Amino acid sequence: MVEELSEWIHVMEAARRLGLQTHSMKALAERQKFKQLRRWDVAGHPYFYLWHEIEAYEAALRHRARYRRSHPIYAGQPYVEKMSEADARSCGFLTVLEAAAVLQVSGVRVGALVKSGKLVGYQNLPGQKGSKMFLSKTQVRNLANDRERLEQRRNWEKGDWSEYRRRQVRTEVRCRSHHPPMPPGVITALEASEVLGISCQSLVLLRKKGRISGFHAYFGKREGCRREGKRWYYSEKEIWELLEHEGYQEKRDRIDEAMKARLKVSVKTVQVSPILMEKMDW
């Protein structure tokens, strides 16, 4: 009986190896992922698991993580595995600069993709600054050919990325027909941001700097909206006066020219070398 119990490990140790919570281990056992033993003579967490089944499940997670855009458990969270530099080079993994060239982004953006969970990073010292990071060639290729990402990049290169995003977040149009009409000369924050061609967050910064003045008003219950209460409204006359101001127009022109110059430089400089194309089997 002692030899049989030596093959079992406690739920706390099994959860630490898989990077899960203890209640998640019980849920996986109910889904027949591995066997579970309950000992009535143990208080607290009386559950035990076979160590070889935990090792097999951990290896399966590592294998699936190499061929997925994100980790199967921690989607949207950073995930970095431990791997030596020699093993990463022998497996044909890409460096951060090579992955950036394939994705046509900067190296900082590759780190942001790893932090968001869209790519899995491999380091000799996971999470430590200065440790060289490698990425799976298959994952980078799948992300580079992702349809949603390519569509967003095309909209960004056309210069209508802000309009594309604004179409996705418009929520007041659905609520506008349900509440009483507003007084003349008053517009919402979303309408003011569309007139000025900026985001709602930039509109808040203009209000805090004193360039425009907003006010709270309650025109009745908004049916169909998740949130009720006061919201920011602006004077339509004041918004148009700011739009016609020479200083505001000059600043907007400088920002547009800087964005166009940045777009031209990024398109010209970021190119995939023939050696990297051969490495990626393209």
3-state SS class at 66 = helix
Distances (CA, A) of 182 to 71, 137, 185, 187, 199: 48, 56, 9, 8, 22
End-to-end alpha-carbon separation of the chain, Å? 57
Q: Is 92 contained in some domain? A: yes
* Res. 181 pLDDT band, cuts 50 70 90: low
Whether residues 43 and 75 share a domain: the answer is no
Whether residues 172 and 209 share a domain: the answer is yes
Partners of residue 37 on adjacent β-strands: 48
Whether residues 235 and 188 share a domain: the answer is yes
Residue 151 has pLDDT above 80, yes or no: yes
d(CA 132, CA 82): 11
Domain boundary among 13, 38, 62: 62
Mean pLDDT of the chain: 72
Residue 228 has pLDDT above 60, yes or no: no
Amino acid in the structure at residue 262? R
pLDDT of residue 275: 55
Residue 51 has pLDDT above 80, yes or no: yes
Between 117-121, 159-163, 197-201, 278-282, the lowest mean confidence (pLDDT) is in 159-163
Q: Is 259 contained in some domain? A: no
Whether residues 18 and 54 share a domain: the answer is yes
pLDDT digits (tens, 9 = 90+) for 240-273: 888 877 677 777 777 777 766 665 544 444 445 5
Residue 201 has pLDDT above 60, yes or no: yes
Dihedral angle computed from the Cα positions of residues 194, 200, 204 and 206, in that order, rounded to the nearest 10 degrees: -40
Whether residues 179 and 221 share a domain: the answer is yes
Q: Is 253 contained in some domain? A: no
Whether residues 96 and 131 share a domain: the answer is yes
Are residues 57 and 33 in contact, defined by beta-carbon separation less than 8 angstroms? Answer: yes
Based on the structure, what is the number of domains in the chain? 3
Quick check: pTM over 0.75?
no
Whether residues 139 and 214 share a domain: the answer is no
Enter the DSSP assignment of 244.
Answer: T
Residue 81 has pLDDT above 60, yes or no: yes
Whether residues 140 and 169 share a domain: the answer is no
Angle between helices 189-196 and 236-243 (to 10 degrees): 20
Q: Is 187 contained in some domain? A: yes
Whether residues 187 and 233 share a domain: the answer is yes
Enter the DSSP assignment of 154.
Answer: H
Whether residues 166 and 240 share a domain: the answer is yes
Q: Is 272 contained in some domain? A: no
d(CA 18, CA 73): 10
CATH number of domain containing 7: 1.10.10
Residues spanned by the domain of 49:
2-62
Mean pLDDT of 41-60: 80
pLDDT of residue 37: 84
Q: Is 77 contained in some domain? A: yes
Take residue 158 and report the two structure tokens written for it.
Answer: 């056309």
How big is the chain, counted in residues?
282
Tell me the range of 40-54, 65-79, 142-156, 220-234 where mean pLDDT is highest. 142-156
Residue corresponding to tokens 């990325």:
161
Whether residues 57 and 92 share a domain: the answer is no
Are residues 46 and 38 in contact, defined by beta-carbon separation less than 8 angstroms? Answer: yes
